Structure 1
Amino acid sequence: MLAELKALLADPALQDCDPPPAVDYALFFDGNTDEESLAPNQWGYGRPPMAELHARFAQIARRPDVERVLVGLHYDWDDPLFAEGFPPAENVHIYTTASATEAEQWMDGLEADGVIEGWPYGKPCNAPEPSAGYAVLSVCWD
């Protein structure tokens, strides 16, 4: 999926996206073994491996009360340092009808700092609007 992710991120409209773009969780996690690409400060301190994060967010995405799961990229996502690998990510956004309190339970064991309502840095320019009845909850790590 890295090639598909890179193709998506090559869109010139995303180059000046502020806040940074968000991508489908499967594009970000599928084949991603770069443990430093999400919550690097928690890697080695309780945060599970990328494969487990992928499995957990795939499970969440299949819930009937979840419309979609996106990964919000870090402000440095397009730095040449990351040209060959997966871009760094900042948070995960869940479009859901569940409450933040309920979604907080889904994060047990991920060493996340919490679940907040809305976009922590503003809505990414490429993020679709949630359907009627759904809201955006964001999973944050320091």
Structure 2
Amino acid sequence: MISAAELAARVRGERFPLLTLEEFFAGNPHEDSLAPLAWGSGRPPLAVLQRRLAEAERAPDIAWIRVEADADSELDRPDGVVRAESIVLATTAPAAELERRLDTAALGSLGIAESDESALEDLCEVPPLHGHERIVFLVWD
């Protein structure tokens, strides 16, 4: 899991980097660091989310999946909690298919929110898009 200090070093102005699944989820003991209102109310443990997202990322119609770090992350504390805003997917799959495949209801999620590349303007370390992928977000609140 990425530390608050490591995340702070990668922030560019007010632009937060997109994190890999491994960077955010691996060894993350802070269950409330993603969708805190859904944790305990339907959202499964982070380890389940990591497995499901890693499996989805291997699909040929998904270019990449990243975690959008939240500006409310505790960057001013050495042991601060890195929080996530949402999950970002670059994909050619229809939103309804992604919701079915990820079983967003079982994740306690509101589902897939359609977007476009302009949603990435306030972020840094964004992987390239290589074809007809579009940007969608897996959201909770």
1:41 maps to which residue? 37
* Pairs within 5 Å for 1:1-142: 1-2=1-2, 6-7=5-6, 9-11=8-10, 14-18=11-15, 20-81=16-77, 83-108=78-103, 109-118=106-115, 122-123=119-120, 124-142=123-141
Q: Which moved more, 1:113-122 or 1:96-105?
A: 113-122
Aligned pair count? 137
Q: Which amino acid aligns with 1:135?
A: R
Residues 66, 94 of structure 1: 8 Å contact kept: yes
SS at match of 1:21: strand
SS at match of 2:32: coil
Q: Give the Cα separation in 1 of the matches to 2:88 and 2:18.
A: 8
| Aligned-residue offset at 1:9 | 4.3
Q: Give the Cα separation in 2 of the matches to 1:8 and 1:42.
A: 24
CA-atom RMSD in angstroms: 2.3
Q: Which amino acid aligns with 1:76?
A: D
Residues 88, 135 of structure 2: 8 Å contact kept: yes
* TM-score normalised by L of structure 1: 0.83
List alignment gaps of at least 5 residues for structure 1: none
Q: Give the Cα separation in 1 of the matches to 2:12 and 2:74.
A: 8
| Aligned-residue offset at 1:57 | 0.6
* TM-score normalised by L of structure 2: 0.84
Q: Give the Cα separation in 2 of the matches to 1:120 and 1:39.
A: 23
Q: Give the Cα separation in 2 of the matches to 1:120 and 1:77.
A: 24
Distance 1:120 1:111, change over 3 A: farther
List alignment gaps of at least 5 residues for structure 2: none
| Aligned-residue offset at 1:32 | 1.1
